[in-house]
Structure 1
Amino acid sequence: MLRRELLGVRSRWTADDIREAGRELAERALELPELTRGRTVAAYVSVGSEPCTLALLDALRARGVRVLLPALLPDNDLDWGEYTGPDSLTQVEHLGKMALFEPSGTRLGPDAVTAADVVLLPGLAVDARGMRLGRGGGSYDRVLARLERADAHPRLVVLLYDTEVVARVPAEAHDRPVHAVVTPSGVRRFPLA
């Protein structure tokens, strides 16, 4: 029910609102020490009413950061490829799911994410504990489990709109808190992550 409510709010955003929020979000994110020091960042290309990530991806790349983007596999796991600019993206229709922008170059394998210094996560909300509510497909739960199995400890940062920082989201035993949330108006850190 919470997912439907949050998606309903997002559906009222205009394309201009989304672009402006994305520009502001990129400015805030680029101030993060994690992104200043990080050499490899796993990110994603926003779709629909998600906070726009393209300005952030291009700014990271301009800084010389290696940006990895996901490609959805048939089992909902994620493979990864390198972002080298807008021309390196292709729109992929996934049966029964939304169309996604994915890297068109060489696939690096699902374990490529374990080399990231920072993982930027999509979501619908985050709560005061740092628990992230995703869309429910489980793709990023698999990423987080893969990081744990590999004993990799990148900084986990979720990108959201201001209204999506809420008091509490449902969490299950496998859920892990994020280190920070970036919204158009600022950054909030979660020390228990």
Structure 2
Amino acid sequence: MDAAHPQGFTAQTTQTTRQQLRQQARLKRQALTPQQQEQASKAVLSRFCQLREVRQSQHVALYLNNDGELDTEPLIEWLWHQNKNVYLPVLHPFSKGHLLFLHYRPETKMHCNRYGIAEPVLDVRLVKPVHELDLICTPLVAFDEQGQRLGMGGGYYDRTLSQWHHTGTGPRPLGLAHDCQQVRHLPSEAWDVPLPAIITPSAHHRWSSS
């Protein structure tokens, strides 16, 4: 049996299943009403601002929500009010599949990347090396009971978090999601990075005390 597919999935069926789960989870979060989205964001903010890892962090990477994702604007504004530094991901212009993280302020100039997602206009003076971040809040499409994360398929965050995954050093990841994005089991690939913690409107899931 392939070690990357311990549940008996072949590579082809794993990819098919992951794509089906990805589509199902996206449809669920897209179906949330504006009122449900607002309530979810407030509930996550309440949990977020109480987390020890958030309070102890000065340099926090977040992202701007898209495609029905949990609204992160209240989290960003709360961090600003706490005089913490916020960073947003930018697609690396030369290293395919990798991210840069730029300091983000209300006056930051923005544009849309090739996926139609707003990101800061690249300015090398604003780039924060990943190892200097304290916390990386990651988007996700679905997650399971073991903390396995399913993204959009580009592998950007798996690459970003690979050092943390293999050595336990670098910024700690924290997943953000709606409750409806949880599934029982995700077929995983060898390069997938499970998350130590994910917060949703109704729960703080934690798989690691480190």
What TM-score comes out, normalization by structure 2 length?
0.80
- The amino acid that maps onto 2:103 is E
Give the C-alpha shift of residue 186 in structure 1: 2.5
| 143-152 or 171-180, which deviates more | 143-152
Match of 1:60 among 52, 71, 79: 79
- The alpha-carbon deviation at position 108 of structure 1 amounts to 5.7
Superposed CA deviations along residues 80-125 of structure 1, whole A, max 9, x for unmatched, are 111112x32523141xx2x112124633687712211111000012
Judging changes above 3 Å, is the alpha-carbon distance between structure 1 residues 65 and 109 closer, same or farther for their aligned structure 2 residues?
closer
Counterpart Cα distance in 1 of 2:177 and 2:63: 13
**Following superposition of structure 1 onto structure 2, how do residues 43-82 of structure 1 map, counting pairs within 5 Å?**
43-74=62-93, 75-82=96-103
For the pair 1:134 / 2:151, whether they are aligned, the reply is: yes
148-157 or 117-126, which deviates more: 148-157
After TM superposition, the score normalised by the length of structure 1 is: 0.87
Whichever residue aligns with residue 197 of structure 2, its letter is A
Task: Give runs of aligned pairs for residues 22-33 of structure 1, distance below 5 A.
Answer: 22-33=41-52
> By how many angstroms is 1:190 displaced?
0.6
Q: Looking at CA atoms only, which structure, 1 or 2, has the larger radius of gyration?
A: 2
Letter in 1 for 2:55: T
Q: How far off is 1:33 after superposition?
A: 0.4
Unaligned runs of 5+ in 1: none
Q: Contact 2:147/2:207 (CA < 8 Å) preserved in 1? A: yes
Q: Is the 8 A contact 2:147 2:197 kept in 1?
A: yes
Contact 1:128 1:168 in 2 (8 A): yes
Distance 2:74 2:178 in 1: 16
User: What corresponds to 1:42 in structure 2?
Assistant: 61
Counting aligned pairs with the same residue, the percent is 29
Supply the distance in 1 between the matched residues of 2:73 and 2:128 (Cα, whole angstroms).
Answer: 24
Partner of 1:191: 208
